Structure 1
Amino acid sequence: MLTRKQRDLLAFIHKRVQRDGVPPSFDEMKDALDLRSKSGIHRLITALEERGFIRRLAHRARAIEITRLPEDLAKSTGFTPRVIDGDLPDAEAPPQARRVLVEAQDVPLVGRIAAGVPIEAINDSAGHIAVPGHMLDRGGDHYALEVRGDSMIEAGINDGDVVVIREQRSADNGDIVVALVDGQEATLKRYRRAKGMIALEAANAAYETRMLPEDRVRVQGRLVGLIRSY
């Protein structure tokens, strides 16, 4: 059973795929459903995936594929699931090959973080975002931040991505962290500590590593996941 919003989103995605050959962007979905933020779309997409109506394909732009529709909607649109031809083994697939649906959890989407020149920390609130449970560490508090800037692109973190952060006050060398500088500037960087100094390293050759006395830097959390919309 789908909620009205879930059904409306599924129908909109199907209509756009039929028309354009590709799914709509998250911004187009948000506008079509008259939602205030993309976090609501993330929750709806996760719910549709968990119920088996869509699947998301890794490493492809706008990577959403409709696998089935509610019976009445399928009849009215003539929908037929895509079938991949090929021989299938008679034996049951090994456990590691089976698809596992992971429950999503809502975490606060608390603002924007600079992956470039540091900006003011946690500068607005955008509600909540659904995050797959496997990204979250047990027993920890988590929050999400929208990335602004390109200084971490070589670590696979792009402008506009949403990073999932485990709240903590310490980090190991090599961790990607939210670092608060001088109590007012927050940035997303790789963390290294040596001889009373903290190195905040970018993952982009265009940016220099910042070296700061450790009393000027406070770790606010460690990167544990990333969500990208297309």
Structure 2
Amino acid sequence: MKRRLEPELMEDPLQAEVYAAADFAEADSLMLQAFNEAFPEVELQGPVLDLGCGPGNMAFRFAERFPRCQVIGVDGSAAMLAIADQRKKSRAELIDRIRFLQGIIPKVRIPAGPYAAIISNSFLHHLHRPEVLWGLISHYAQPGCQILIMDLYRPDSPQQAQGLVEKYASSEPEVLRRDFYHSLLAALTPDEVKQQLATVGLGELVVRKTSDRHMIIVGQKS
């Protein structure tokens, strides 16, 4: 099945609110678990760059898990970042350790780092040109930087995509069911990602499936 692109940004405030209110705890926990397994015994110190941070789910989780890191979240959607900033106001203990920036990669002005880690969750499938993400990571990741990207991978057919929607989102609002379906169709395959990584010189990263719908791209910049 060929990739079917979807809009890159969630700019509708109502759509952003529904997304932010949804329960993504399982997927968020899976990503944090994957990081801990990939980099055991590591206590992150210093800046962490969260690309496509949305309403801040992973930014808050990483700041909680690693109290010696500071997280910079980047997203192009003003609606999403408004929710992220509102959430931050209620987390007094994290206010000084989390910062959100609005902008479209690669044009957004990101602090130079160096970064202890670069992470991204459910952002890759939104990009019409995925190589933009890999190029940005290659630019900002210095040797030793720990990289973890988690995203959906594309099923073999629209029927399989619909089956995943029914399996995991049957009780969710229609807007989430629709977005999940279109996100599956817009996602990349592990083989496509491997080819892209080789092209930009990030061949040290490993691509593997972690569920029937998720894959991770993980490794340390050499």
* TM-score, structure 2 as length reference: 0.21
Name which one, 1 or 2, has greater alpha-carbon Rg. Answer: 1
Q: Which has the higher helix share?
A: 2
Structure holding more strand per residue: 1
Q: Which has the higher contact order (CA 8 A, sep 6+)?
A: 2
Normalising by the residue count of structure 1, what TM-score does the alignment of the two structures yield? Answer: 0.20
